């Protein structure tokens, strides 16, 4: 197990898009994190039922999508790109179905590479179907078996990267978000989530090593992006969503402690923290992800990204072209601009980074906590603690304090109601005990046992 | 407004569950009309909570706490309401369709009519078409509310409406749908009676549908 007790990136000048202390090189020579930002395009099916009878149509849709995006990549003369295939639940539940698509994507990418010299990579992300059992069985049962089989088959079929959007702990986190319950959020992420990540990523790393593919990374999308979208809809305060974002860092770091090598998932907006700590490259998304969800962080997320993504887009016809092709074009132009700045020298890349930061940081606390200097400060504080729980607790205390000071200093404006919430979160953070066993005992009294199987997290109670 | 009713109203508004329970017991002992306690004390307070939410004074957590406070008070009031033959506005069954596990949106929508004295039946998430049909068959439901966040699950809304038709139950209920990929056009296409773009519009829509 890897231990992270100090930052891999200590200097703000070195904290930039396209460069990471530990770049990744694929078998075909594509290197991520060594100077160039590549697009990572993610596409998905239009509205349709997925079953045995519609599988030919599923394959036809993916064929259309991959051919369209590869064609556009050639036309816009790009050097390299990554495609992410996020498996829908049905395609994970039936691994043999899902792998049919992987073969199509791999084949088309190989042909594009052979004919045009463009370096490509395929990230395959099986769905965390464990949550289909309620409460979920996380370590046993048909959903677990199907999910790991999906990883194996897709690794064998040509994935370069394996990833997942895991949801261990989420069964109590949604309630925590909408009730403003910081302690439950910390328990969900710092205890349950961290335990599950250790189990899950031991298996994923093992599968990756068996098939000689890269165990890429995970995301706390189901936790922090759920909060972000709710904040965008004014259902919860923005400060609460900002705090949750930082609470996810320790949990997501566990993947790297168990052997993940990056790049993290595009929707892992905790990625900047992970990059600062591990030095591995990260994928991120922003403005071009509006096709999937709106956000207040459309530009700032470019600041330290190594792959630039669109989140996910349905295969529907737009005026310009099919939506995945349109997304590909948008990502190519965005990355072209970033790479043009860095080709002039690091000082120009820093300028571009700083403009991306300035665009968003003063308008929303969720953007503020993604400022590279803020990320370095918070990351340093987080990993000064020895365990996932204490790191998550520290994240809560530091983030609330930071947001209060930043608001008072006029770094961004908070409404009276949001400020009231910051005080409320501060009180809750102060109540988190330092003793992990005491915290667990406390939470076991409160957790709804109908929603979560504690034994699946190796927790007795 | 009676002073005690005012206090009930405030306790719901502020999410003071223990104080509300004590107050409800006190007013019941004074023989106050339970319907008045419900409508002027609790439902009126939830309407005010809704207004605070619309005006960005309250977020969902505050609304949820108020709604749960009201439910606690209602549990004390229900036997007296039944005795006085006071019925709920209507019964709504709300669930997320087959293939979709998302429930935050569904739960937010369910909270709104609950605060307006609708009765809610919640079959949960990933609900099969058969289960929805069964819920309509076995319960006195006026509205069936279907939720989804996924484009790949949307079809199951159409399948559910068709299944109600085939089971001869379509005229028994009004169907309202909602979720990120849904719109009015889709609602019309599948033969739903209404579409709610926002959780806060669920109650006005529900009231309109049962008129």
For the segment A238-255, what is each residue's pLDDT rounded down to a tens digit?
999 999 999 999 999 999
Minimal Cα–Cα distance from A172 to chain B, Å? 12
- The pLDDT of A197-202, averaged and rounded, is 98
Cross-chain residue pair A131–B101, CB shorter than 8 Å: yes
Please check whether residue A47 touches B, CB under 8 A: yes
Q: What is the pLDDT of residue A56?
A: 97
The answer on pLDDT for A407 being more than 90 is yes
- The pLDDT of A248-265, averaged and rounded, is 98
Cβ-Cβ contacts under 8 Å, A235 against chain B: 59-60, 108
H helices present in A361-456, as ranges: 365-368, 372-382, 388-408, 416-430, 436-444
Structure tokens at A37: 């930002």
CB A271 within 8 A of CB A246: no
Q: What is the pLDDT of residue A187?
A: 98
Burial class (CB in 10 A: 0-12, 13-18, 19+), A460: exposed
Size of interface A-B (CB pairs under 8 A): 58
Q: How confident is the model at residue A49 (pLDDT cuts 50, 70, 90)?
A: confident
- The pLDDT of A163-175, averaged and rounded, is 96
- The pLDDT of A60-77, averaged and rounded, is 98
Write out pLDDT tens, residues A318-363.
Answer: 999 999 999 999 999 999 999 999 999 999 999 999 999 999 999 9
Distance CA A368, CA A301 (A): 11
The answer on pLDDT for B200 being more than 80 is no
Domain locations in chain B as residue ranges: 3-83, 91-210
Structure tokens at A158: 């040509």
Candidates B104, B106, B122, B162, partner chain A, best to mutate (most A CBs within 10 A): B104
Interface of B with A (CB under 8 A): 56-57, 59-61, 64-65, 99, 101, 103-104, 107-108, 124-126, 151-152, 154-156, 181
Cβ-Cβ contacts under 8 Å, A234 against chain B: 56, 59
Share of chain A above pLDDT 90, in %: 98
Please check whether residue A143 touches B, CB under 8 A: no
Q: Which of B99, B104, B181 sits opposite A178 (nearest CB)?
A: B104
Distance CA B153, CA B106 (A): 15
CB B114 within 8 A of CB B71: yes
Main-chain dihedrals φ then ψ at residue B30, nearest 5 degrees: -90, 5
The answer on pLDDT for B209 being more than 70 is yes
The conformation of residue A262, written as its DSSP 8-state character, comes to S
Distance CA A111, CA A104 (A): 11
Is B91-210 in the same CATH topology as B3-83? no
Q: How many CB atoms lie within 10 A of CB A422?
A: 21
Q: What is the pLDDT of residue A76?
A: 98
Distance CA B186, CA B122 (A): 23
Q: Which of B99, B125, B156 sits opposite A89 (nearest CB)?
A: B99
Q: How many CB atoms lie within 10 A of CB B80?
A: 18
- The pLDDT of B41-67, averaged and rounded, is 90
Instruction: Calculate ∠ Cα A240-A245-A251, nearest 5°.
Output: 130
Q: Which of A44, A132, A177 sits opposite B101 (nearest CB)?
A: A132
Q: Is residue A6 domain-resident?
A: no
Cβ-Cβ contacts under 8 Å, A174 against chain B: 103-104
Q: What is the pLDDT of residue A150?
A: 98
Q: What is the pLDDT of residue B29?
A: 87
Cβ-Cβ contacts under 8 Å, A47 against chain B: 151-152, 154-155, 181
Q: What is the pLDDT of residue A102?
A: 98
Write out pLDDT tens, residues B71-125.
Answer: 899 889 888 888 888 777 889 999 999 988 888 888 888 888 877 888 899 999 9
Minimal Cα–Cα distance from A176 to chain B, Å? 9
Q: Which of B60, B103, B124 sits opposite A235 (nearest CB)?
A: B60
Query: Which of A38, A25, A4 is CA-nearest to residue A309?
Result: A38
Cross-chain residue pair A50–B152, CB shorter than 8 Å: yes
Q: Which of B57, B103, B154 sits opposite A47 (nearest CB)?
A: B154
The answer on pLDDT for B1 being more than 80 is no
Question: What CATH number labels B91-210?
Answer: 3.40.50.280
CB A255 within 8 A of CB A231: no
A234 three-state secondary structure: coil
Q: Is residue A355 domain-resident?
A: yes
- Please indicate, yes or no, whether the overall pTM of this predicted structure exceeds 0.90: yes
CB A166 within 8 A of CB A252: no
Q: How many domains does chain A have?
A: 1
Residues whose CB falls within 8 Å of the CB of residue A377, separated by 6 or more in sequence, listed in order: A398, A402
Q: Which of A47, A48, A234 sits opposite B56 (nearest CB)?
A: A234
The answer on pLDDT for A461 being more than 90 is no
* Conformational region of residue A27, where left means phi above 0, alpha means psi within -120 to 50, and beta covers everything else: alpha
Structure tokens at B48: 């005010």
Main-chain dihedrals φ then ψ at residue B120, nearest 5 degrees: -115, 135
Please check whether residue A116 touches B, CB under 8 A: no
Share of chain A above pLDDT 70, in %: 100
Residues whose CB falls within 8 Å of the CB of residue A335, separated by 6 or more in sequence, listed in order: A37, A38, A39, A78, A308
The conformation of residue A135, written as its DSSP 8-state character, comes to S
Question: What CATH number labels B3-83?
Answer: 1.10.1240.10
Q: How many CB atoms lie within 10 A of CB B27?
A: 22
The answer on pLDDT for A3 being more than 70 is yes
Print the domain residue range for A233.
12-451
Candidates B14, B59, B102, B147, partner chain A, best to mutate (most A CBs within 10 A): B59
A70 three-state secondary structure: helix
Q: What is the pLDDT of residue B180?
A: 85
Please check whether residue A135 touches B, CB under 8 A: no
Strands lying side by side in the sheet with B91-97: B119-127, B91-97, B143-147, B174-178, B194-195
Chain B residue nearest residue A173, CA to CA: B104
Distance CA B66, CA B118 (A): 16
Cross-chain residue pair A49–B155, CB shorter than 8 Å: yes
Distance CA A246, CA A260 (A): 20
Write out pLDDT tens, residues B179-189.
Answer: 988 999 999 99
Cβ-Cβ contacts under 8 Å, A89 against chain B: 99
- The string over A78-109, giving b where at least 16 C-beta atoms fall within 10 Å of a residue's C-beta and e elsewhere, is bebbbbbbbbbbbbbbbbebbbbbbebbbebb
The answer on pLDDT for A415 being more than 90 is yes
Q: Which of A47, A132, A235 sits opposite B151 (nearest CB)?
A: A47
Q: How many CB atoms lie within 10 A of CB A202?
A: 13
Q: What is the CATH number of the domain that holds A290?
A: 3.20.20
Angstrom distances, CA of residue A8 to CA of A26, A256, A274, A380:
22, 13, 10, 10
- Please state, rounded to an integer, the average pLDDT across all residues of chain A: 97
Write out pLDDT tens, residues A272-310.
Answer: 999 999 999 999 999 999 999 999 999 999 999 999 999
């Amino acid at each position: 197990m890897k231990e992270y007790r100090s930052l891999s990136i200590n200097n703000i000048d070195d904290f930039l898009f396209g460069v990471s202390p530990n770049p990744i090189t694929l078998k075909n020579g594509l290197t991520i994190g060594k100077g160039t930002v590549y697009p990572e395009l993610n596409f998905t099916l239009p509205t349709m039922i997925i079953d045995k009878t519609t599988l030919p149509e599923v394959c036809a849709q993916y064929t259309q999508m991959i051919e369209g995006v590869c064609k556009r990549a050639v036309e816009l003369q790009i050097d390299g790109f990554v495609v992410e295939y996020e498996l829908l639940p049905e395609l994970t539940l039936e691994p043999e179905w899902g792998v049919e698509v992987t073969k199509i994507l791999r084949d088309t990418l190989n042909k594009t590479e052979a004919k045009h010299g463009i370096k490509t990579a395929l990230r395959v992300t099986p769905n965390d179907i464990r949550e289909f059992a309620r409460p979920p069985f996380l370590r046993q049962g048909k959903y677990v078996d199907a999910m790991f089989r999906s990883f194996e088959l897709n690794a064998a079929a040509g994935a370069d990267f394996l990833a997942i959007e895991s949801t261990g702990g989420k069964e109590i986190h949604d309630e925590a978000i909408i009730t403003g319950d910081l302690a439950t959020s910390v328990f969900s992420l710092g205890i349950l989530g961290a335990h599950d990540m250790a189990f899950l990523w031991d298996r994923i790393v093992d599968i990756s090593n068996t098939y000689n593919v890269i165990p890429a990374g995970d995301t706390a999308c189901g936790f922090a992006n759920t909060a972000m979208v709710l904040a965008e809809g004014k259902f919860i305060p923005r400060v609460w969503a900002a705090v949750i974002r930082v609470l996810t860092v320790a949990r997501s770091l566990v993947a790297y402690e168990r052997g993940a090598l990056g790049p993290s998932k595009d929707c892992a907006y905790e990625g900047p923290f992970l990059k600062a700590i591990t030095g591995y490259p990260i994928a991120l998304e922003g403005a071009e992800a509006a096709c999937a969800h709106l956000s207040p962080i459309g530009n700032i997320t470019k600041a330290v990204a190594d792959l630039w993504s669109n989140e996910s887009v349905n295969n529907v016809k737009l005026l310009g072209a099919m939506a995945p092709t349109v997304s590909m074009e948008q990502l190519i132009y965005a990355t072209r601009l970033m790479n043009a700045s860095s080709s002039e020298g690091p000082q120009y890349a820093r300028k571009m980074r700083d403009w991306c930061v300035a665009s968003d940081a003063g308008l929303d606390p969720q953007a503020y906590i993604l400022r590279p200097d803020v990320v370095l400060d918070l990351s340093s504080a987080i990993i000064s603690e020895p365990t996932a729980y204490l790191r998550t607790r520290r994240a809560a205390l530091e983030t609330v304090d930071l947001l209060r000071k930043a608001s008072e200093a006029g770094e961004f404006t908070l409404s009276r109601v949001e400020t009231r919430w910051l005080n409320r979160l501060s009180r809750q953070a102060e109540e988190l005990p330092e003793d992990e066993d005491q915290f667990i005992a406390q939470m076991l009294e409160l957790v709804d046992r109908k929603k979560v199987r504690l034994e699946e997290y190796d927790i007795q109670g | 407004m009676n002073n005690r009713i005012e206090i009930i109203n405030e306790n719901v508004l502020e999410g003071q569950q223990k104080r509300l329970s004590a107050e409800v017991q006190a007013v019941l002992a004074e023989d106050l009309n339970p319907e008045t306690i419900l409508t002027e004390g609790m439902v009126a307070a939830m309407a005010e909570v809704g207004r605070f939410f619309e005006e960005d004074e309250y977020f969902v957590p505050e609304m949820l706490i108020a709604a749960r406070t009201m439910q606690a008070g209602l549990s004390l009031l229900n036997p007296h309401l039944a005795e006085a033959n006071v019925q709920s506005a209507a019964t709504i069954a709300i669930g997320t369709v087959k293939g979709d596990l998302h429930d935050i949106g569904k739960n937010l929508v369910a909270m709104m009519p609950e605060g307006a004295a609708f009765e809610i039946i919640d079959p949960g998430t990933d609900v099969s078409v058969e289960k929805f049909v069964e819920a309509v068959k076995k319960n006195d439901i006026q509205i069936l509310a279907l939720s989804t966040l996924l484009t790949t699950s949307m079809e199951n809304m159409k399948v559910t409406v068709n299944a109600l038709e085939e089971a001869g139950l379509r005229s028994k209920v009004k169907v309202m749908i909602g979720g990120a990929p849904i719109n009015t056009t889709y609602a019309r296409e599948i033969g739903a009676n209404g579409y709610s773009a926002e959780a806060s519009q669920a109650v006005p829509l529900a009231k309109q549908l049962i008129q």
